[in-house]
Structure 1
């Protein structure tokens, strides 16, 4: 059997391409300022040896429907700290954080972002970013 370096690189790319995801809230959800919101972040179960380093949950306002590039600006940081996802039955490992959106955050469309820092294998650093559009509402009814 002949070993193909190209095949090895292609398979490695597929494995590392799997990324974190925001499980809850769902895209398009309405979130109230000043009220705790459960945010569930999940990781893939891809068989790689991963070492969790940290997680940042943030939110960027999208005035006029235009969100900033997450690679340049992750917006207002709502959580920065450890990430310790746990298996949930047969589903992927996940962790839920109760986040409160500050009362001074602008209402309207916003991008909720999860930025994940991890080490793969024997120490290759990776940063994964997952985002979705949600709608921030005033809790002053």
Structure 2
């Protein structure tokens, strides 16, 4: 019986740790998957940061656009055209979560299927520890 109790406690602890790690992520609100964008025309990338369980210190963010077909490589290994590289400092805009808008342009380099890749580098916790997260959104470019 003690073995079963230990297993249940270990499972609950692991689940809570994973939920905490997941809560540190960001959400790409715009553009939505499958959006069609035009080369040379500015568009908005809106990135939301949910309320964090632990303190995070934002180091930077990079946004890139890569022409590719599925499966596309991870942004960490290949970003494509870098559309933005710099600070990430989301703010509250009324009630709700923190977000930041980035106005970027996909250069004229050909139409087709693209991947919008986002790399976020931040420090977390009392240590703190360094974290590099990557996110992608499939888009179409005309």
TM-score when scaled to structure 2? 0.83
More strand by share: 1
**Total equivalences in the alignment:** 133
Q: Highest Rg: 1 or 2?
A: 2
Aligned to 1:28: 34
1:33 is displaced (CA, Å) by 0.7
State the superposition RMSD in angstroms.
Answer: 2.0
TM-score between the two structures when normalised by the length of structure 1: 0.83
1:82-101 correspondence runs (5 A): 82-101=87-106
- Cα distance in 2, alignment partners of residues 28 and 44 from structure 1: 23
For residues 68 and 114 of structure 1, the distance between their equivalents in structure 2, rounded to whole angstroms, comes to: 12
SS at match of 1:91: coil
Which aligned runs of 4 or more in structure 1 are off by greater than 6 angstroms? none
Gapped regions of structure 2 (runs ≥ 5): 1-8
| Structure 1: gaps of 5 or more residues | none
Question: How big is the shift at 1:93?
Answer: 0.9
Corresponding residue number in structure 2 for 1:55: 61
